[in-house]
Amino acid sequence: MVRSPRRLPCSGAAALLLSAIFMTMSLLLGLPATAQERAVALDKPRLAQAPEPYCYCWSDGKKIAEGSMACIRTTMGRRLATCGRVTNLMSWEVTENPCPES
């Protein structure tokens, strides 16, 4: 007995898969895109403000950028300190100078 090959029905999912394969191949081969394609944004829109620093220290609930000075509370009272990095951790380098009074 010889069997004849069966034709598989083309469902909506199969048609979508074939369409995706065709679009991928056309992009790889540099074929022109069809007019029915929609543009897709690659990145989210960016805000028009300065980015937050990647490395920062905390002082009184505020972020202080690396290399900046701040007046922090210590056991010797409020002192000037510089936010810096020790190996891969952020740390305060406290000076002997008290905070300036205004």
Q: 18: which 2 tokens?
A: 């074939």
Q: 75: which 2 tokens?
A: 């056991």
Q: Is residue 83 part of a domain?
A: yes
Q: Is residue 87 part of a domain?
A: yes
Q: 63: which 2 tokens?
A: 């972020």
Number of domains in the chain: 1
Bridge-based pairing of strands 62-65 and 56-59 is: antiparallel
DSSP string for 69-84:
EEEEEETTEEEEEEEE
Q: Is residue 80 part of a domain?
A: yes
pLDDT tens for 46-71 read: 666 666 667 889 988 888 888 999 99
Q: Is residue 40 part of a domain?
A: no
Q: Is residue 13 part of a domain?
A: no
Domain range spanning residue 88?
Answer: 56-98
Q: Is residue 89 part of a domain?
A: yes
Q: Is residue 17 part of a domain?
A: no
The most confident of 12-16, 26-30, 91-95, by mean pLDDT: 91-95
pTM of the predicted model as reported, rounded to 2 decimal places: 0.46
The pLDDT value given to residue 82: 93
